[in-house]
Structure 1
């Protein structure tokens, strides 16, 4: 959790909204139908919008995700090289 968001995520307003949304979605991940765990903000919370309830507490900006789907959303593996090159066994970039 980012430092600027700690107060928000500990607030009664968020806890109530999260519980209500979880029930609304029947506890199932909206992407894979496995048991949900994390109420995710589709439009990410930033220091500029953390006090905007249309972003933070609006069901239209929420999505119930399981841990795996949430990890894919935030930690998807992206290529660290450009097309046509790769790392060899020594860790050097070489033509693919």
Structure 2
């Protein structure tokens, strides 16, 4: 997998300190579901246009602590993982859905 925009931010001392601050601020709890959190998420997506703007990338007010499940859900929002041509049978096996 290639390098994503903003990956270099996560290797800085400033980011590690900010991440620790956000983790402590939220007492290690996912802000969405209440489970243990472990991913500090940017509420504003990091893009080529804002990657060098510390008001976006290093702003604690624009960060939230999420668990992996909520973080994955956030990044998959808008994607439809359900295929219409497949279903699970009574044994939990993936099968081709019959056309009507």
Q: By the TM > 0.5 criterion, same fold? A: yes
Q: Within 2, Cα distance between the matches of 1:30 and 1:47?
A: 27
What does 1:3-82 correspond to in 2, within 5 Å?
3-76=4-77, 77-78=79-80
Runs of 4+ with >4 A deviation: none
1:13-59 Cα distance to aligned partner (Å, 9 max, x none)? 11111111110111100001110010000101112111111111112
Q: How many residues align?
A: 89
Aligned equivalents of 1:79, 1:67: Cα separation in 2: 18
Question: SS of the counterpart of 1:28?
Answer: coil
TM-score normalised to structure 1 length: 0.77
Provide the rounded CA distance (Å) in 2 between the counterparts of 1:63 and 1:70.
Answer: 10
**RMSD across aligned positions (CA):** 2.4
TM superposition shift of 1:6: 2.4
TM-score norm. by structure 2 comes to 0.74
Instruction: Give structure 1 stretches of 5+ with no counterpart.
Output: none
Give, in whole Å, the separation in 1 of the partners of 2:66 and 2:22: 11
3-state SS in 2 of match to 1:64: strand
